[in-house]
């Protein structure tokens, strides 16, 4: 009788795969892509290097999946913030605040997701996820325009601009070597920028 992967074995493999991705996430948050050597990931996950290659064809695929998993969390958090009740402009600011606040709470990880130079496949993922963020913001802007709260504008263009602005602004503090935990200036500046750019009357 041929070898069959039993549910029990399958469950263990799934657990192991998750452990590998979790370990890689921690390493990414500590020291970026450079810290995510296959050996380090395997050690942290408590598996052998060979086991890593049982789940991923190579380091590139591991890193790509790692990136997707971690950014998906951010997209979910931002999406949740965008759906909180309240005035439209406040909700859009909440999206930006969530995006930036999470980044500044985990600066090394945020740098890895937003800007750290990596290989082309991960860059392709970056482009994809930026569109996801943009679409979330665009939906809110569209509502605001329809409701007459915001002046007429192309929601996708403004949304792209706001996402690009937030990302670029964050790269500054994130690139500074001495992570200034008392950076109290960036967040309010970004929120003011957002409100003004939207054409909000009260800004």
8 binds, among its own copies, DNA, none (CB under 5 to 8 A by kind): DNA
Judged by beta carbon, residue 63 or residue 109, the one nearer DNA is 63
Q: How remote is the C-alpha of 152 from its chain's centroid?
A: 29
The H or E element spanning position 36 is none
- For the CB of residue 103, give the shortest distance to DNA in the complex, in Å: 25
Judged by beta carbon, residue 15 or residue 83, the one nearer DNA is 15
Token look-up 């800004």 returns 203
5 binds, among its own copies, DNA, none (CB under 5 to 8 A by kind): DNA
* Tokens matching residue 9: 């074995």
Binding-site ranges for DNA (CB under 7 A): 1-6, 8-9, 12-13, 16, 36-39, 46-51, 53-54, 58-60
- For the CB of residue 94, give the shortest distance to its own copies in the complex, in Å: 18
State whether the Cα torsion 125-76-200-157 is positive or negative.
positive
1 binds, among DNA, its own copies, none (CB under 5 to 8 A by kind): DNA
Judged by beta carbon, residue 63 or residue 81, the one nearer DNA is 63
* Tokens matching residue 110: 């945020």
Judged by beta carbon, residue 15 or residue 192, the one nearer DNA is 15
Q: How far apart (Å, rounded) are the C-alpha atoms in residues 160 and 77?
A: 18
58 binds, among its own copies, DNA, none (CB under 5 to 8 A by kind): DNA
Judged by beta carbon, residue 10 or residue 181, the one nearer DNA is 10
Binding-site ranges for its own copies (CB under 8 A): 115, 117-124, 126-127, 130, 134, 153-154, 156-158, 160-169, 171-172, 175, 185-186, 189-190, 192-193, 196-199, 203
State whether the Cα torsion 131-137-138-139 is positive or negative.
positive
Contact 68, 134 (CB under 8 A): no
Contact 17, 52 (CB under 8 A): no
Q: How far apart (Å, rounded) are the C-alpha atoms in residues 160 and 169?
A: 14
* Tokens matching residue 132: 């996801």
- For the CB of residue 61, give the shortest distance to DNA in the complex, in Å: 8
């Amino acid at each position: 009788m041929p070898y069959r992967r039993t549910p029990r074995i399958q469950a263990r493999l799934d657990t192991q795969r998750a452990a590998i991705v979790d370990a890689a996430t921690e390493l990414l948050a500590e020291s970026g892509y450079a810290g995510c050597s296959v050996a380090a990931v395997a050690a942290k996950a408590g598996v052998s290097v060979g086991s890593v290659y049982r789940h991923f064809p190579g380091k590139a695929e591991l890193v790509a999946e790692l990136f997707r998993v971690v950014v998906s969390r951010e997209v979910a958090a931002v999406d949740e913030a965008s759906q909180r009740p309240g005035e439209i402009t406040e909700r859009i600011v909440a999206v930006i605040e969530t995006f930036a606040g999470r980044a500044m709470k985990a600066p090394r990880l945020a740098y890895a997701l937003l800007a750290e130079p990596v290989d082309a496949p991960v860059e392709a993922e970056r482009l994809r996820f930026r569109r996801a963020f943009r679409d979330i913001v665009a939906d809110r802007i569209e509502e605001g325009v329809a409701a007459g709260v915001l002046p007429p504008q192309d929601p996708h263009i403004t949304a792209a601009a706001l996402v690009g602005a937030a990302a670029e602004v964050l790269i500054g503090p994130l690139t500074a070597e001495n992570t200034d935990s008392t950076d109290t200036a960036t967040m309010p500046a970004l929120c003011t920028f957002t409100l003004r750019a939207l054409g909000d009357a009260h800004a």
